[in-house]
Amino acid sequence: SSATAPIRATLFPGDGIGPEIAESVKQVFRTAEVPIEWEEHYVGDQIDPRTQSFLTWESLESVRKNGVGLKGPMATPIGKGHRSLNLTLRKELNLYANVRPCYSLPGYKTRYDNVNLITIRENTEGEYSGLEHQVVRGVVESLKIITRQASLRVAEYAFHYAKTHGRERVSAIHKANIMQKTDGLFLKCCREVAEKYPEITYEEVVIDNCCMMLVKNPALFDVLVMPNLYGDIISDLCAGLIGGLGLTPSCNIGEGGIALAEAVHGSAPDIAGKNLANPTALLLSAVTMLRHLNLHDKADRIQNAILSTISEGKYRTADLGGSSTTTDFTKAICDHL
Ligand code: NAD
C-alpha cells in the first residue's frame, strides 16, 4: 500500500464512445499504479436549474474541489432552454486557456516526423464573445472583445508553461497589422509578460504567415499563444500535422489552477458501443493531467507505453489502419507497462 493518500480527480466518461475510452484510461491507470481515485460524474438527462444545463451542480463542484479532471466527449442534446455542455464547463470553471500538445507519434507515418509544438488558445473572449447583432437589414456586426486581463492571463500561462516544460520559445500569433486595436492589445500584453521571462525567446508571427510556416516546416515552432479564433483554427491544423483528432490530447486550464483534460474529438456516434474507438487521444489527455499534477514518472511511463504500442503496429484501431478493438489495444498498452 502507498504511504500517501490518493489524489481525487473528477471523471466525466461522457457520451457515445466516451465510456469505452474512459474505461481504457481507468485500466491503464490501474496497471501503471497511478495514485488517482476517480470521482465519476455523468451528464444528466434533466436540466439542472443551478447550471441551466444537463451538467449537475455536483459534478462542477467535484471539479472545483478536486482541481483536476478528465472529460470524455459530450454530445450536447438538441433543444431549447439549456446551455451547451462545453460552454457551461468553460464559463462555470472559468477555463481560460486550452493547451494542446502536438507531437509526431513515432512509427505512425504522416507527412512530418519532427512535430513537437504546443498551442495555447485564449478560451474566453475574442471572436467568441457571442455578441452579434443586425445593425440594419443586410448588415450584421460581431464584436471581438480583447481585454488586458484575459490577454495577460493567457500570456502568463504560456510563458510559465514554456519555462516549466523546458521549452525555449514562445510565438504570439496575431493579425495586428489589420486588427490594430484588438490584436495590438493582445501583443502588448504578450510583450509585457515576455520581459519577465528573459530566458525564453519571444517572437510575433502574423497568422497567415504562421499557417504557411506550419505546413512547410512545423519544426520552426515551439510554444504558440493566440487569441480564441486563431487558436481554434491553428490547433486543428496542428492536429492534422500528426495524424488527426483521434490522437490529439488537450487540457483546459481554469482560474485557481483547475485543469480539465479532454480529448479533442467528439462522441463518434457512428462507432459507439462497438469496441472500435481509439482511446489514444483521451489517454494522452490523461497524461497531460498527470503532468499538471507533477506525476511525471507515471506520465512518461504511460506515454511511452502508448507510443510503443502504436509504433510496433501490431495492435492498432481501425482509424489508424489496424483491426484491433479498443480492449485489445488497451491490453497491449497495459502489457507494455
Ligand atoms: P466526432 O469527432 O465525434 O466524429 C468524427 C469522425 O471521427 C467520426 O467518423 C468518428 O467515428 C471518428 N472518431 C472520432 N473520435 C474517434 C476515436 N477516438 N476513435 C476512432 N474514430 C474516432 O465528430 P462529430 O461526429 O462531428 O460529433 C459527434 C458528437 O460529438 C456531436 O454531438 C458533437 O456535438 C459532439 N462533440 C463533442 C465534443 C466535445 O465534447 N469536446 C467535440 C466535438 C464534437
The string of pLDDT tens digits covering residues 209-264 is 999 999 999 999 999 999 999 999 999 999 999 988 889 999 999 988 899 999 98
Closest of 179, 82, 159, 176 to residue 118, by C-alpha: 159
% residues pLDDT > 90 (the chain):
84
Residues 223, 171 contacting (CB under 8 angstroms): yes
- Provide the grid cell at 225: 499563444
Q: In angstroms, what is the span from residue 263 Cα to ligand 1's centroid?
A: 10
Please write the tens of the pLDDT for every residue from 145-167: 999 999 999 999 999 999 999 99
Looking at residues 279-294, what average pLDDT do you find?
A: 96
Half-sphere exposure of 16 (CA within 13 A, CB side): 19
Averaged pLDDT, 266-285: 96
- Proportion of the chain above pLDDT 70, given as a percent: 99
Kindly give the distance from the C-alpha atom of residue 11 to the centroid of ligand 1, in angstroms, as a whole number: 19
Q: What is the pLDDT of residue 25?
A: 98
- Give the range among 8-22, 97-111, 113-127, 320-334 with minimum mean pLDDT: 97-111
Is the beta carbon of 318 within 6 A of some atom in ligand 1? no
User: Does the Cβ of 67 fall within 6 Å of ligand 1?
Assistant: no
Q: Is the CB of 93 under 6 A from ligand 1?
A: no
What is the pLDDT at residue 45?
A: 86
Instruction: State the angle between helix axes of 57-66 and 85-92 in degrees (0 to 180), rounded to the nearest 10.
Output: 40
Query: Beta 169-174 vs 201-206: how paired, if at all?
Result: parallel
| CB distance 322 to ligand 1 below 6 Å | no
Residue 1's pLDDT is 44
For ligand 1, atom 18, which residue shows the shortest CA distance?
278
d(CA 304, CA 107): 12
* Pairwise CA distance, residues 276 & 121, whole Å: 31
Please state the atom number of ligand 1 nearest to the C-alpha of residue 75.
32
- Count of CA atoms in the C-beta half-sphere (13 A) of 45: 0
Three-state secondary structure call for residue 185: helix
Measured by CA distance, the residue closest to atom 43 of ligand 1 is: 266
Contact 246 CB / ligand 1 (< 6 Å): yes
Q: What is the pLDDT of residues 60-95, one digit of tens each?
A: 999 999 999 999 999 877 777 788 888 889 989 999
Q: Are 277 and 21 in contact (CB under 8 A)?
A: yes
Long-range contacts of residues 109-112, Cβ cutoff 8 Å, at least 24 apart: 110/241, 110/242, 110/243, 111/241, 112/218, 112/219, 112/241, 112/242
pLDDT averaged over the chain? Answer: 94
Between the CA of 154 and the centroid of ligand 1 the distance, in Å, is: 27
d(CA 334, CA 27): 8
Q: Is 270 in the pocket of ligand 1 (CB under 6 A)?
A: yes
Mean per-residue pLDDT, 125-149: 93
Banded pLDDT at 129 (limits 50, 70, 90)? confident
**Whole-number pLDDT of residue 83:** 82
